[in-house]
Structure 1
């Protein structure tokens, strides 16, 4: 039965993402907001809902390794797997603003998290994300939201009226597309994750391994389906913005809320995964900066990195 529900979840995800991307891009046009900002905010936060649900619930239940492993694993999946496979399908144009501002902000988040969980080496104690650490992460998230608000306001003022479609747009229709698509994405993702965990546990996988692999990939399925769909519709701004925004949201908001609710004891082994997350973000910055896009070859390099990482954690665990 778990396998059947897993398949149903995948089908719901695919159709939900199709409606979600179409609705979000049309709303961006009507509101005179660049698609990139829609990707960084509405799409990113929406597709990160599964990570938020899993990590916050895990923190409340005292399974901190699953909470942190889910976020770190999901961010790795987002960059090296999702951007990799999306770029293989359709090379992704990366706007200059993303290269010089949003990607560095995601890198900052990765470095901050690494420092906060490196207690074993910095103060010779068990790694802990305290409530204070959670508030620090939420403060960074507030700064990011302020930045996005200012960019959105300035972009709307500069948006050329000639760029607007003169044909009337049924706003209610596309709002329903967006909300309904997001609901389908979250519901489908939940089906996939729950049943994938059941299957994984039946195969004898550990909690940490499940968090870094099955749960991480499962909760990143909305980002995967949304980014691939956006790329195929030539909406690369949404595809890239979705990934960068999701990573920022996961690091600052999801872990910030989780740690604020209940301090999280972190397995120090996740430090190596956090280092790999930092490295992958640096490579993303280099790829985006050199060509102002992520080419198919670079997408292939990301995929090889992901396969290498998966081999490493399977051997390690």
Structure 2
């Protein structure tokens, strides 16, 4: 048991570190190829933050632990919405952009509804997985189109307000903030991608095997382990990122990180994993799914009118998370 717990800790460290290096290396390579930073953020970085959940869920499903795979996704979304947003808002009230509340959160709610509806028969079939991937494609297309429109609008505004040279020929414009920065060598970026991928694969395998062994030793289902230990471990990057962002007054990053991760967890992870192998919903109860869907709905209602999550609302989310964890432990 002690050795398996050690393997779980080491696996989490490898997965989190590997995801960070893989994302960083891929972002550097994309920048070199001229891909705009906004596109990199909406694709590579967004997917990169979900790589721990993706690698763990995929290997769990391939190893025959579908309950662990689905439990990881459902549990991670609950951790993200109740624990991470709750903790960040309890630290400092969170200001949220209108576009996040009006456009992004409804996508998270829709993704949750898809999972609940498609899994009602007790399985995420390959056809169900294709539906999730189609929804992911629609989300990415709409998001990228919105980003491009925003870039064009910003460019037009900059052109209209660009200072002209003075009469004596001097340029009065401020120094550019986008001056070239020292870039990472190509060989190092490629190395980060390879090393990060290797750590993700090895760390996930170590993590899944150890978590499965712990579940068997404690005589609990893979789903419960996925909803608790695995979900908590793979959500650590989002927790650290969001709390630090909230402390620095960057609440937009904190909430955007959570919303994006929730969408990717369902549409990308279960979509790709379910396409490879059908996923059983065994061990995932209506309470688990209701908590997942209800938590994001509550967060959306908190923010719908004032675009802000107050401290008391953060504590309310934390109280709901504690109640859910108590229910899980009571029903093991």
Query: Does TM, normalized by the shorter one, top 0.5?
Result: yes
CA contact (8 A) 1:44 1:241 kept: no
Aligned length: 304
Q: Which residue of 2 aligns with 1:141?
A: 136
CA contact (8 A) 1:58 1:67 kept: yes
How far 1:272 moved relative to its partner? Answer: 2.3
How far 1:20 moved relative to its partner? Answer: 10
CA contact (8 A) 2:21 2:196 kept: no
How far 1:167 moved relative to its partner? Answer: 5.0
Q: Which residue of 1 aligns with 2:53?
A: 51
Alignment partner of 1:208 is 2:208: no
Q: Which residue of 2 aligns with 1:123?
A: none
RMSD (Å) for aligned C-alpha atoms: 3.7
CA contact (8 A) 1:45 1:249 kept: yes
How far 1:254 moved relative to its partner? Answer: 0.6
CA contact (8 A) 1:55 1:66 kept: yes
CA contact (8 A) 2:224 2:283 kept: no
CA contact (8 A) 2:93 2:309 kept: yes
SS of the residue 1:44 aligns to: helix
CA contact (8 A) 1:55 1:68 kept: yes
2:90 to 76, 79, 88: 88
Q: Which residue of 1 aligns with 2:161?
A: none
- What do the CA deviations read for 1:120-172 (whole angstroms, capped 9, x no partner)? xxxxxxx1211110100000000011012102211211226489725543344
Cα distance in structure 2, aligned partners of 1:203 and 1:273: 20
Moved more, 259-268 or 96-105: 259-268
How far 1:233 moved relative to its partner? Answer: 3.5
CA contact (8 A) 1:65 1:208 kept: yes
CA contact (8 A) 1:83 1:299 kept: yes
1:308 to 306, 317, 323: 323
- What do the CA deviations read for 1:178-217 (whole angstroms, capped 9, x no partner)? x68x949969985777766666665554322101100111
CA contact (8 A) 1:76 1:280 kept: yes
For residues 180-259 of structure 1, the aligned pairs below 5 Å read: 183=196, 202-259=217-274
How far 1:12 moved relative to its partner? Answer: 8.0
Q: 1:58 to 1:197 in 2, by over 3 A?
A: closer
Alignment partner of 1:131 is 2:106: no
CA contact (8 A) 2:72 2:226 kept: yes
Q: Which residue of 1 aligns with 2:297?
A: 282
SS of the residue 1:225 aligns to: helix
CA contact (8 A) 2:19 2:51 kept: no
Q: 1:189 to 1:247 in 2, by over 3 A?
A: farther
SS of the residue 1:290 aligns to: coil
1:165 to 177, 180, 191: 177
CA contact (8 A) 1:230 1:239 kept: yes
For residues 34-45 of structure 1, the aligned pairs below 5 Å read: 40-45=42-47
Moved more, 73-82 or 204-213: 204-213
Cα distance in structure 2, aligned partners of 1:142 and 1:170: 34
Q: 1:22 to 1:294 in 2, by over 3 A?
A: farther
Q: Which has the larger radius of gyration?
A: 2
Comparing both structures, which one devotes a greater share of its residues to helix?
1
What TM-score comes out, normalization by structure 2 length? Answer: 0.76
CA contact (8 A) 1:17 1:226 kept: no
SS of the residue 2:304 aligns to: helix
Cα distance in structure 2, aligned partners of 1:57 and 1:75: 19
